[in-house]
């Protein structure tokens, strides 16, 4: 893979220390021959051990744990990840959907809960007891980066938005300290002063997300700035799909994720701007890239990383 030639890998060492880039999950056979060069005995062997090879890549300082959206992690899984990754890599975990969705979709995987209201929506007690506990252990806590609370698109009326912010305020206020929290909202109307005030009140941050129905990253950054800025000492960005392209369309376009296909020029510039802001503030920036953004997340990271290095050197 041309993106990972020796000169480019060496340039990764020049990436400012506060910038933590990584991919959303890592078990993709399409990365074999590029990111992954080892021989694996089977699909299971690959999925169990490829994280070690991921962790050796110089551009990566973070990794996204997306599976935790569907079920809380087992302690044994986190221990295995910690054993495979070097100490400088932190994981960014999506919070269990049982805590972040107000109603279960009518999908078979929800069984008898399908279509019903979720009684555990924004339940801080459940978060502490069923989700956070495996992370709050020596050897694991040190590897733990921000938790991302991914919220569905929701009603856009003033009443609905106000009710959500009231519940979010109470939820964040009940969470334990010592961990970092980011909220990924997918309703553009929530990018208002009241939303950013809730985050600042609790030391949380907005997850700048590049996703189907959200405005460009630069508009999200401007909304935060217009509200007085984010006060948290870290940033989170998840780069998921091209704007106006659905998840299913992105899968059909980019599978098997073995090659970069569709560079998102404006998105890349916006990420550099966000990273530059983090560098100026000496605040960590966690930037997670999905295969469904441009076709091959590792190649996207290498390209954006080069741009961040160039901008940092120009500003030094």
Query: Which pLDDT score is estimated for 3?
Result: 52
Overall number of domains in the chain: 1
Q: CB 174: neighbour CB atoms within 10 A?
A: 14
Query: Which pLDDT score is estimated for 8?
Result: 77
Q: Measuring CA to CA, which residue among 153, 165, 149 is closest to residue 197?
A: 165
Give the pTM: 0.96
Given a cut of 70, is residue 114 above it in pLDDT? Answer: yes
Query: Which pLDDT score is estimated for 4?
Result: 66
The CATH number covering residue 136 comes to 3.20.20.410
DSSP string, 166-196: HHHHHHHHTS-SSS-EEEE---GGG-SHHHH
Q: What is the pLDDT of residues 244-289, one digit of tens each?
A: 999 999 999 999 999 999 999 999 999 999 999 999 999 999 999 9
Cβ–Cβ under 8 Å, residues 203 and 231? yes
Q: What is the pLDDT of residues 201-243, one digit of tens each?
A: 999 999 999 999 999 999 999 999 999 999 999 999 999 999 9
Phi, psi of 315 (to 5 degrees): -90, -5
- Tokens representing residue 293 in the block: 């953004």
Phi, psi of 56 (to 5 degrees): -85, -5
- Average pLDDT across the chain, whole number: 96
Tell me the percentage of the chain whose pLDDT exceeds 90.
94
Query: Which pLDDT score is estimated for 10?
Result: 84
Residue range of the domain that includes 108: 2-315
Q: Measuring CA to CA, which residue among 252, 253, 242, 198 is closest to residue 224?
A: 198
């Amino acid at each position: 893979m041309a993106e990972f030639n020796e000169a480019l890998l060496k340039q990764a060492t020049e990436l400012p220390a506060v910038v933590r880039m990584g991919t959303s999950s890592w078990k993709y056979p399409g990365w074999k021959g590029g990111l992954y060069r080892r021989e694996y005995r089977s699909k299971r062997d690959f999925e169990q051990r490829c994280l070690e090879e991921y962790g050796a890549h110089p551009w990566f300082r973070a990794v996204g744990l997306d599976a935790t959206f569907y079920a809380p992690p087992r302690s044994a899984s986190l221990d295995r990840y910690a054993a495979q990754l070097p100490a400088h890599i932190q994981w960014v975990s999506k919070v269990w959907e049982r805590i972040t969705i107000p109603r279960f979709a009518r999908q078979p995987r929800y069984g008898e809960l399908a279509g019903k209201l979720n009684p555990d929506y924004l339940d801080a007690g459940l978060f502490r007891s069923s989700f956070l506990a495996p992370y709050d252990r020596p050897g694991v806590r040190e590897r733990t980066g921000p938790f991302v609370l991914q919220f569905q698109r929701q009603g856009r009326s003033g009443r609905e938005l106000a009710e959500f912010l009231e519940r979010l305020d109470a939820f964040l206020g009940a969470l334990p300290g010592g961990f970092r929290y980011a909220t990924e909202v997918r309703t553009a109307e929530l990018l208002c002063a009241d939303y950013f005030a809730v985050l600042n009140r609790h030391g949380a941050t907005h997850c700048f997300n590049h996703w189907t129905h959200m405005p460009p990253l630069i508009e999200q950054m401007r909304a935060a700035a217009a509200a007085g800025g984010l006060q948290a000492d870290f940033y989170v960005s998840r780069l998921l799909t091209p704007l106006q392209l659905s998840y299913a369309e992105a899968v059909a376009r980019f599978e098997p994720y073995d090659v970069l296909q569709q560079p998102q020029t404006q998105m890349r510039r916006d990420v550099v701007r966000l990273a530059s802001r983090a560098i100026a503030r000496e605040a960590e920036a966690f930037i997670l890239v999905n295969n469904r953004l441009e076709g091959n997340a590792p190649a996207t990271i290498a390209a954006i990383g080069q741009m961040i290095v160039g901008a940092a050197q120009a500003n030094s």
